[in-house]
Amino acid sequence: MNKNFRFSLSCVLLFSTVINGCAVGPARKAFTPESAGSVKSAKPYNLVIQDEVTPSVEMSNVAGAMMAGGLYGALPALIGSAIDSSVNKKRNQKAQEVMENFYGNTDDFDYRESLAANLNPVLESALPISVKNAPAEFMLLSNKEREARISALAPGEALVYTSSFYRFVDQSKVVVSETQVYVYTKSAKSSKGGTKPIFFNRFINISNSVGTGGESSLQLWSENSGKLYRDSMDEAAKRIAAMVAYDIKAQKTNFCGKPVKANTLNMMAMSWLNATMVEEKGDWVMIQDASGALQALPKQSVQDNPKAKPKKCA
């Protein structure tokens, strides 16, 4: 990929993820025994648009100067930007070098392959998938295209639609991977927004925090041909697959567990939120957040929350 184009695309992707990160995730729709019994066969569509992760490195202080201009007038902002330009030039060059080094060490890693290798067997064991080893798709289905696929389903047939993406947050110290799983049937209720799924949930993996942020963290992710990044992404694929299997097979409205505080993603920043402990596995834990999404986090990112009341289990 052309490096200049890649940098521009990364900026666009970063902007879009910031906007998306401001929205509260949709609520989970549990896969009930009734839903499971209605699905006799299923067609998969596994979407992973991205071919690379977007680093979050502070490139300039111009944005801060522009904000100051909004508060105190445009002229001080322009003067501040001009004074800062020589500093920014060196900073930008250094940041660009670090990003190029990161891409150079991780370009050949394909998260699509890693995710498919882990997720496909899970979906095939939990649902009657008609196509084995389904490849990751690159094209986002429009609402019209999705509805057309649902309309074409036969009685007892389902569309299993997965959408996956990943990004650096917290100044590239943490990589967040997310897979959303939808199961649609033709008999499901429709509305102005389209057919409602009989099952939906978000599955999120939060990596260990690496470095002090920015260029320092990207350098650590890049070392040894990007080994730390590759291992973290492979681990993310395994954990996401495990959470998908857990949720689909459980067929529960809510998960039981003690109340905890979890250091997880909120508004594109890491913060401590109320959650429910679902399962502990070695050095990581599975929690359920307020929307019902399942998240895998490092064990040190979760602490007891004795003041909170346990939610009702079903």
- Domain assignments of the chain as residue spans, ordered by start: 3-57+105-304, 62-104
119 has pLDDT over 90: yes
Bridge partner residues of 166 (DSSP): 177
5 has pLDDT over 60: no
Q: Which residues contact 261 (CB under 8 A, 6 or more apart)?
A: 272, 273, 274, 275, 302, 303, 304, 305
- The per-residue pLDDT for range 213-271, each reduced to its tens digit, is 988 999 999 999 999 999 999 999 999 999 999 999 988 888 888 889 998 888 777 88
Distance from C-alpha of 166 to C-alpha of 153, rounded to nearest angstrom: 30
148 has pLDDT over 70: yes
- Chain position carrying tokens 């995730």: 25
192 has pLDDT over 80: no
pLDDT of residue 24: 45
64 has pLDDT over 70: no
- Chain position carrying tokens 């019994």: 37
Single pTM value for the model: 0.81
pLDDT of residue 267: 73
pLDDT of residue 43: 93
Q: Which one is predicted more confidently, 42 or 87?
A: 42
Distance from C-alpha of 47 to C-alpha of 25, rounded to nearest angstrom: 18
Q: Which one is predicted more confidently, 167 or 91?
A: 167
Distance from C-alpha of 232 to C-alpha of 221, rounded to nearest angstrom: 10
Distance from C-alpha of 75 to C-alpha of 66, rounded to nearest angstrom: 10
Q: What is the dihedral of CA 90, 95, 97, 103, to 10 degrees?
A: -170
CB 43 within 8 A of CB 155: no
11 has pLDDT over 60: no
- Chain position carrying tokens 């690496």: 210
pLDDT band, very low/low/confident/very high, at 279 (cuts 50, 70, 90) = very high
